[in-house]
Amino acid sequence: MKISWRTILLWSLPALVIGFFFWQGAFSPTAVNMGSNTASTRMSYGRFLDYLEAGRVTTVDLYDGGRIAIVEAVAPELDNRVQRLRVDLPGNSPDLISRLREANINFDSHPIRNEGAIWGLLGNLIFPVLLIVSLFFLFRRSSNVPGGPGQAMNFGKSKARFSMEAKTGVMFDDVAGVDEAKEELQEVVTFLKKPERFTAVGARIPKGVLLVGPPGTGKTLLAKAIAGEAGVPFFSISGSEFVEMFVGVGASRVRDLFKKAKENAPCIIFIDEIDAVGRQRGAGIGGGNDEREQTLNQLLTEMDGFEGNTGIIIIAATNRPDVLDSALLRPGRFDRQVTVDAPDVKGRLSILEIHARNKKLSDEISLEAIARRTPGFTGADLANLLNEAAILTARRRKEAITMLEINDAVDRVVAGMEGTPLMDSKSKRLIGYHEVGHALIGTLIQEHAPVQKVTLLPRGQARGLTWFMPNEEQGLISRAQILARITAAIGGRAAEKVIFGDAEVTTGAGNDLQQVTSMARQMVTRYGMSDLGPLSLETQQSEVFLGRDLMTRSEYSDEIASRIDAQVRTIIEHCYEHACQMIQDNRIVIDRLVDLLIEKETIDGDEFRQIVSEYTNVPEKERYVPIV
């Protein structure tokens, strides 16, 4: 068992206190002064005078300034043997010396020594010394803790982690799905290793590179790869570590960081989440303060000020480039903005191949199928997906990951943990009709993505789910595809109305209605897909942040606002009527699918389409194209 020095000190204090008082008692002035002449038998002063008159006293030794006497006297009760006795003398006995001389008795007076004062002084110093020693160890220990009292004088020092050769264990071969970003960043590494290749033709490497992209796309991973490849001194720090509650601390840390970087040039400085310190100046709202602005001013000066920073390459990462100050983004500071976006299907396949290196996969696993099924997943999402599949495999005591674990992991990552299966009841049947309504309309409309599966197994807040799988990476979406999505999304509510009537519709379509309304409104106000014509009446909404408008202002008149509302309602009502008509026309197949769904709880997409094709024509949709 490991015992800290604080515990030892706390347990030692009571012993020290007891020992101190014992020490004080053992080395009292009286005991020290009398030394070995102490006597345990006491005699009263009156009896001492009687012995003195009877001539029985032989010697007298006076101690403590004449207040104590050690007497040798003949005791008649002890057969006239000599006995040493202690006598406490009164304070005023001036004639005692005269009487001793008259009786011709040997006496001696012993002076008071200062040993008692010395021991008393030492005893009084014990506790201050212990207190000082304790505080010394306390401050020494806290000096290793970031922000501790031992670092009160180091507020202005940079907290950047420094590596002479950053051995991160990550190289460019370990980063996939961001080929364009890797190509641009490899130029930085090449310049650091072979600068003459660029300087020979008059080229100048960018002073700063800003990595922009959603969370989880690999911005920090790219920085680690640069550090691992470059082989030069590497400083890494977060933007939030510059800002403190004390004015001037952030600017001081920026100066200290660049001072250290200049001493180790050429080098790389990586600033993660730079939006914490680089937000636009001058608004005075949204959490801004003078400390943050002064820190940004110092950062701008160090990056491209009067003195310059030759040999220092700054790499920063953020997922909010729109909030950064324009002076920070200009050429000379951040010359390049490298977009690190969510990977496409090829990128996802490459990422899966990297993360599958240390996973035991069964022969039936198709990484291409997983990449097809996970549009919009970032690198972090895919790593988490395979990790969740590996955890499920270990929990089920299997030797290798199968497609069952992959599918369950995808469902868990997207929709949440699987809940308790529903009991057979009216509620379960209603949910079944709701989900089959989504799936049937998505299957019968040509422009909609194919159904992957329909399930009644609860996940997260959803009591049932219908999964669709897009056939390709869709950068552009047509008007017909948006209308198809609206119709399929509202198909659950349409099924509830047609099957159970208006009185039995439930709140299960609440999220569907939100999506439907949002898509219809964007068709009218942003994409010009309505009778209002090709007009963009609204911009993409964003949160209030520094340097932007606090109050949203109307960009159109009240008349246009009424027409927008009317157009949105027209689009949704048209899709809703279309969905209800499709449900009525295919009532027989819907009943069969719901019975099968309640029995099996999950229907695969191929089986779903096979059953629907027995009753009506299912349009052919694009199949997967193999990844080249």
Q: Which residues are known to be catalytic? A: 435
Distance CA 350, CA 379 (A): 10
- Phi, psi (rounded to 5 degrees) for 179: -65, -40
Distance CA 33, CA 30 (A): 5
Q: Which two structure tokens, joined as six digits, stand for 380?
A: 């972090």
- Give the Cα-Cα-Cα angle 292, 296, 300 (nearest 5 degrees): 175
Beta bridge partners of 272: 238, 317
The CA–CA distances, whole Å, from 268 to 184, 209, 230, 272, 343 equal 15, 11, 9, 13, 26
Sign for the pseudo-dihedral over CA of 243, 247, 251, 254: negative
Q: Which two structure tokens, joined as six digits, stand for 298?
A: 């110092």
Residue among 295, 236, 249, 234 nearest 157 (CA): 249
Sign for the pseudo-dihedral over CA of 468, 469, 475, 477: negative
Residue among 354, 361, 255 nearest 303 (CA): 255
What's at 431, amino acid-wise?
Answer: I
Distance CA 82, CA 71 (A): 10
Check whether the bond before 266 is cis (ω within 30° of 0).
yes
**Cβ density class 129-152: b for 16+ within 10 Å, e for less:** eeeeeeeeebeeeeeeeeeeeeee
126 touches 16 (CB < 8 A) = yes
Q: What's the length of the chain?
A: 628
Q: Which two structure tokens, joined as six digits, stand for 220?
A: 């920090």
